[in-house]
Amino acid sequence: MHTYYPKTVWTRLFDLFNCLALFLFSFLVLFPFWNQICISASNLKVYSMKDVVWLPIDFNLEAYQMALTDVRIGKAALISVLRVLVGTTTSLFCTGLLAYVTTIRWFRGAKYLRRIFLFTMYFSGGMIPTYLAYINLGLFNSFWVYIVPSLINAYYMLLIASYIAGLPDALTEAARIDGASELRIYIRLIIPICVPVFAAISVYTAVYHWNAWFDTTLYVPSGDWDTLQIYLRRILLEVEAFSKIEDASTAYAKFKSLAPQSMRAAVTIIATVPIVIVYPLLQRYFITGITIGSVKQ
Amino acid sequence: MKPTRKAAITRRRKRFIKERELWILFAIMLVWVGVICYYPMYGLIIAFKQYVPGRSIQSAAWVGFKYFKQFFSSPDFPYVIRNTLVISGLNLLFGFPAPIILAVMLNEMRMRRTKRIIQTISYLPHFISWVVTASLLFTLLNSEGLINKFLLDIGLIDTRINWLNDGQYFWGILVTANIWKNVGFSSIIFLSAMSGIDQELYQAGAVDGLGRAGQIWHITLPGIRVTVILLGILQLGSILNAGFEQQLLLGNDLTRRYYEVIDTYAYKYGVQLGNYSYGTAVGLMKGLISVSLVFLANALSRKTMDIAVI
């Protein structure tokens, strides 16, 4: 950190305002979440949403109790977790394997494979042809529509490949002479060495799977594989619709004597908590991922 | 002689087996990319055909550029294009400098622990979904929400406004939400570029009498010039990507004339209303222009900065 400037009154004032501005910024980032927590734990049957500012009013956890015992929310959360686990592991394994194959110099197919996948970064069928194709492929209304299309990501392939290309050839050559198969080399040698880049990509992929909602709207309209995000989306639509017709009795009947806004807030917090727990721990890795990406550029 | 020759043969055979294994993997990956990525591209031809849902693509009649013309002459065309360009223009104008400013501010911060905590906080919105963001916005911007309460208290408005139901506020809300969500995460790349600046430059600058502001202006900002120009060019290349999820989640029937962009329009007509050919034509047109812009942007960066991104 540089401090090569005279310590005048002006630089001290600058520091002060800089700090204050950054604190204000942090406040603006965090406050919407805090307000949501307060609303979820307030009694909105008696008080209005505008009364809840800094702290919950008439603190209670009824909304969470209801959300966590609701079978549909439980199922949605389970499907979300399943999607994240299966989606992230399979995607990492396949994208990494592809990246590894494209870095084997003596393999004549490597260069073609790389180009075939690079092409998909710039050209795609677009939403509607893809939608029609997935229907034809039998992915419609199936859990696999979450997993199969995201098995390989061309951009992450580039990231991992640039990482593997930086490793000495002797590493894999020794295993190859010992007669290890390529798949074995990939699993036993490459994956353990590539942990930093894999960790970075796993953060992005896991967050992608946890946050995705539009593919459910598009490909799984049956509702059989609704994720937590889709459930929240449905609540949003319902609450907005209720606030338009202002028919409180329907709203209360729907949410069993709980204010719909409390329920909305509670589910919002439930959908946010896993992210808040995970991302600070993996910060080092996703920053590495960005810097690898920028070196590539 | 003999054993080495034998060894050479076995090595060659082994290598053949190795290649065979790789070709098997090659074939599997080819099948995946063929089915998932290239097969949908074939479906693009329905943009030039009168596709009837449930029937095969081959049996559909050719109609040439009918659907493209239909889009250009549709009454929706002017405002859809306007919204797309205005929203991404505003994203560029305000969303692009914001992370640079944040990075400079963080770079000037001397309390290391506090700085790291603020950075961690700033990444949070990037990792939460648009659905959660929309929920936060619905809460804050509701007529009962805190934004109204705050503005009433300081006297800026005198009646409660339902912000998300009034089209004139939509662009502002959308762009603010975009910045809120991405500013922290986007600042990472600028901060890492700043950490690469030679510290001796600051020392020399101080000797030459540069103050705090002078050091930022003459050393820090020129030090990240390459990164800034490169990312700026890239963002220019994606000017037609004005967002999609945000619009679908935050927009409603009342604000449609302000939120509808090319992508949401193609979705609405293509999937929701079942005009597959029309939606595909709109998407294809946008896709082609987008790709040309990306390649143009790349050529530009190669020419000006001698760096190719693609």
Question: Which DSSP state fits B168?
Answer: G
Chain B interface mutation, best of A3, A4, A184, A243, highest count of B Cβ atoms under 10 Å: A4
- Inter-chain CB proximity A291 and B192 less than 8 Å: yes
Task: Look at domain B65-305 and name its CATH class.
Answer: mainly alpha
Check CB contact of A32 with chain B, cutoff 8 Å.
Answer: yes
Among the listed residues A88, A81, A89, A86, the one whose alpha carbon sits nearest the alpha carbon of residue A227: A81
Report the pLDDT averaged over residues A91-102: 95
- Inter-chain CB proximity B148 and A50 less than 8 Å: yes
The more confident residue out of B57 and A87 is: A87
Query: A236-248 burial by CB neighbour count: b if 16+ within 10 A, else e?
Result: bebbbebbeeeee
So what's the pLDDT on residue B209? 81
So what's the pLDDT on residue A288? 75
ipTM summary value: 0.88
| Residue A40 CB partners (closer than 8 Å, separation 6+) | A63, A64, A262, A265, A266, A268, A269
So what's the pLDDT on residue B128? 94
So what's the pLDDT on residue A4? 67
What the block records as the tokens of A172 is: 């894999």
Summarised one tens digit per residue, pLDDT across range A5-28 is 667 888 888 889 999 999 999 999
What CATH architecture does domain A61-297 belong to? Orthogonal Bundle (1.10)
Residues B173, B174, B180: CA angle, nearest 5 degrees: 85
All structural domains of chain B with their residue ranges: 2-61, 65-305
Question: What does the alpha-carbon distance between residue B280 and residue B283 come to, in Å, rounded to a whole number?
Answer: 5
Q: Virtual CA dihedral for A130, A97, A183, B35, nearest 10 degrees?
A: 10
So what's the pLDDT on residue A295? 47
Q: Residue window 66-125, chain B: list those with CB within 8 Å of chain A.
A: 102, 105-106, 108-112, 114, 117-118, 120-125
Q: With residue B299 as reference, give the H or E element that holds it.
A: helix B276-305
Ranges in chain B, pLDDT < 70:
1-3, 14-18, 306-310
Summarised one tens digit per residue, pLDDT across range B244-300 is 999 999 988 888 899 999 999 999 998 888 899 999 999 999 999 998 998 888 888
Q: Residue window 143-182, chain A: list those with CB within 8 Å of chain B.
A: 148-149, 151-152, 176, 179, 181-182
So what's the pLDDT on residue A108? 85
Check CB contact of B8 with chain A, cutoff 8 Å.
Answer: no
